[in-house]
């Protein structure tokens, strides 16, 4: 089955409405992080405080998402995601109110954390739905699942293209407060629609028996958690470094657009992953993509203008989605069927935790060393990802595709 035929088949199985709702529903997470960074940094004049607030959203979401994922494995996605969407949107509105009231930094960071802990991880939960959606496709299921994960990886990256780009446009046209408010409205609307979609019932209706439940934290899954954490560090540090450089150039509104460029190449590469032959195993894909992160991030240390930054970030994006897609595919195979929701949200959670670490460290270094300090964090994370992928090849190669 060709990649194009696979994508058509997935669209037939899920329906256009599901694809639309699941995609738009994941935009607020990308919008809220960049929006919070610009909102708080603009109000306080400190990138450190802005990075801490944006990081608070990521850290809190990293804590709340796996708990919500485990709960969704038990009671179904519908009630869990519905409550998260409404409470998370209200939390973002509270954050805007706190910043506008010129509250002290600890209160601002606490409000950001409150919003983050309630926000749903739509992307990982959407991945969980594809196994029951493809249940009746027989021998094509494994290939369709890989195609679905390629799409989801590309959709995640596209959300981090459109999210920051929309934030950047709103900041230029109006102000960051409106940008975060829009994120809240989108979350409450499309997050709720994702929760109420009929596919939400499939994950619970086909839940395996208690005897099929096993542990999630196997050695290979711990490796994947570390890999995704490093990917988060890349996201956080690139976003912070981009904000610092564009602000120094007198064009702060371009920060979201430049960061969105990271996702342009990533979306294209992510969609192409579905066409890779089976003989190129997932562990090999992880190693190749991680090596690309190390090599292609190095030029960030040399950029000193916005046009040059556009070019370097665009090229770097071509290895981002293949790396994340491969991590999620291997993660889905490495855990019991009854724990896939927990596993997918854990992988997303540590990505958020890595984002928080990368954003905070890069923000502190940027206050002293400007944008090169922030981008040094990116390069370090890329090198660590490559070393991890190389050393973990034996344990990753032990994982084989699981039968449904």
Q: Is there a domain that residue 403 lies in?
A: no
Q: Please tell me what DSSP assigns to residue 279.
A: T
Helix (H) or strand (E) holding 272: helix 254-272
Interatomic CA distance for residues 80 and 72, integer angstroms: 6
Q: What is the pLDDT of residue 214?
A: 64
**Range scoring the smallest mean pLDDT among 47-51, 198-202, 205-209, 288-292:** 205-209
Q: Is there a domain that residue 25 lies in?
A: yes
Q: Each residue of 154-170: pLDDT tens digit?
A: 888 788 778 877 887 88
Q: Each residue of 220-278: pLDDT tens digit?
A: 999 999 999 999 999 889 988 988 898 888 877 677 778 778 878 888 888 888 778 77
Interatomic CA distance for residues 345 and 123, integer angstroms: 9
Q: Is there a domain that residue 23 lies in?
A: yes
- pLDDT band, residue 207 (cuts 50/70/90): low
* Contact between residue 57 and residue 184 where contact means Cβ atoms under 8 Å apart: no
Interatomic CA distance for residues 122 and 119, integer angstroms: 9
Q: How far is residue 37 from each of residues 25, 254, 325, measured CA to CA in Å?
A: 21, 13, 27
Interatomic CA distance for residues 119 and 113, integer angstroms: 10
Q: Is there a domain that residue 164 lies in?
A: yes
Interatomic CA distance for residues 335 and 343, integer angstroms: 7
Mean pLDDT of all residues in 315-326 = 91
Question: How many residues would you count in the chain?
Answer: 404
* Contact between residue 317 and residue 263 where contact means Cβ atoms under 8 Å apart: yes
Q: How far is residue 284 from each of residues 276, 384, 386, measured CA to CA in Å?
A: 12, 16, 12
Q: Is there a domain that residue 404 lies in?
A: no
Domain with residue 54: its CATH number is 1.20.1250.20
How many domains does the structure of the chain reveal?
A: 1
Domain that holds residue 207: 3-396
Has residue 339 got a pLDDT over 90?
no
In terms of Cβ atoms closer than 10 Å to its own Cβ (0-12, 13-18, 19+), residue 368 is: exposed
Q: Is there a domain that residue 160 lies in?
A: yes
């Amino acid at each position: 089955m060709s990649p194009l035929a696979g994508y058509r088949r997935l669209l037939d199985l899920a329906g256009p409405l599901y694809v639309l709702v699941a995609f738009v529903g994941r935009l607020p997470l990308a919008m809220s992080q960049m929006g919070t960074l610009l909102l708080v940094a603009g109000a306080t004049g400190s990138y450190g405080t802005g990075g801490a607030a944006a990081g608070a959203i990521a850290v809190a979401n990293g804590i709340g998402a796996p708990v919500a994922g485990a709960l969704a494995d038990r009671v179904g996605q519908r009630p869990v995601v519905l409550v998260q969407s409404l409470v998370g949107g209200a939390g973002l509105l509270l954050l805007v109110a706190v910043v506008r009231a010129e509250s002290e930094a600890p209160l601002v960071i606490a409000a950001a954390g409150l919003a983050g802990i309630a926000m749903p991880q739509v992307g990982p939960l959407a991945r969980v739905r594809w196994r029951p959606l493809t249940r009746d496709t027989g021998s094509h299921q494994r290939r369709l699942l890989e195609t679905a994960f390629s799409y989801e990886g590309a959709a995640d990256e596209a959300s981090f293209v459109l999210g920051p780009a929309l934030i950047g446009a709103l900041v230029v046209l109006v102000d960051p407060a409106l940008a975060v408010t829009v994120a809240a409205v989108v979350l409450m609307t499309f997050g709720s629609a994702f929760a109420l979609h009929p596919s939400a019932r499939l994950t619970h209706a086909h839940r395996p028996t208690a005897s099929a439940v096993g542990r999630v934290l196997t050695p290979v899954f711990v490796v994947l958690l570390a890999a995704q954490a490093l990917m988060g560090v890349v996201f956080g540090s690139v976003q912070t470094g981009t904000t610092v450089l564009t602000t120094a150039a007198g064009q702060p509104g371009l920060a979201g657009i430049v960061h969105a460029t990271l996702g342009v190449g990533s979306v294209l590469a992510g969609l192409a992953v579905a066409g890779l032959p089976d003989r190129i195993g997932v562990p090999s894909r992880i190693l190749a993509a991680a090596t690309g992160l190390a090599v292609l991030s190095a030029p960030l240390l040399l950029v000193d203008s916005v046009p040059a930054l556009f070019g370097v970030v665009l090229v770097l994006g071509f290895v981002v989605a293949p790396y994340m897609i491969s991590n999620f595919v291997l993660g889905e195979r490495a855990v019991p069927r009854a724990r896939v929701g927990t596993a997918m949200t854990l992988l997303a959670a540590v990505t958020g935790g890595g984002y928080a670490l990368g954003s905070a460290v890069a923000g502190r270094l940027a206050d002293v060393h400007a944008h090169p300090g922030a981008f040094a964090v990116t390069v370090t994370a890329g090198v660590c990802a490559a070393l991890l992928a190389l050393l973990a090849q034996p344990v990753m190669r032990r994982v084989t595709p699981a039968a449904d």
